[in-house]
Amino acid sequence: MKFCSLCGAPVEQRTPAGDNRQRYVCTGCGAVHYQNPRNVVGCVVEDAGKILLCRRSIEPRAGYWTVPAGFLELGETLSAGAARETREEACAEVDLGSLFAVVNIVHAGQVHLFFEATFRTPGFAAGEETLEAMLVSIDELPWQELAFPSVRIALECYLQNREDGVNRLHITEAPRISDL
């Protein structure tokens, strides 16, 4: 950030009075510009023992597989955002179940939240940001071709809950892709 979104004056990084970390502070009007993590919401959609996956057509990680997920928009609930992302990426209408995974992506300033889901109506297709969408059996999940560590974590948590017969919320932190 270089300029204040309120008055247009330059900003500088400093620790405001009463705070404990550096923030962008306007040199003109004194406004403090907080930067907070962005939320990514998505679904693990299961149908007849198969999981819905989307091959990304956009960067980052174009060509890799993911579950339908994306950034939460202002004015949206977590569940509405997850359903919208599934509609946009996989042209699918879903009914959401439990929130089962919260994955902190500290190095990217993000928090990824995943819901269980089932198809409300049959059918899915590749959306605008998707090269192809398909249902994959658990045994055929392309673990080495998943786009992000958070997707692997979400799938592992989902499958663990499924195996254990529980609806447990998993909260964890994902490594950087370069650390894998």
Task: For the chain, list the domains and their CATH numbers.
Answer: 1-35 (2.20.70.10), 38-179 (3.90.79.10)
| Tens-digit pLDDT profile for residues 55-85 | 999 999 999 999 999 999 999 999 999 999 9
What was the pLDDT predicted at 180?
A: 64
CA contacts within 13 A on the Cβ side of 180: 14
Look up the pTM and report it. 0.92
What was the pLDDT predicted at 14?
A: 97
| Tens-digit pLDDT profile for residues 89-110 | 999 999 999 999 999 999 999 9
Give the largest Cα separation in the chain, rounded: 60
What is the Cα–Cα distance from 88 to 98, expressed in whole angstroms?
21
What was the pLDDT predicted at 176?
A: 86
| Helices of type H across the chain | 78-90, 149-164
Helix (H, G, I), strand (E, B) or coil at 134: strand
What was the pLDDT predicted at 17?
A: 92
In the chain, which residues have pLDDT < 50?
none
Contact 67/42 with Cβ under 8 angstroms?
A: yes
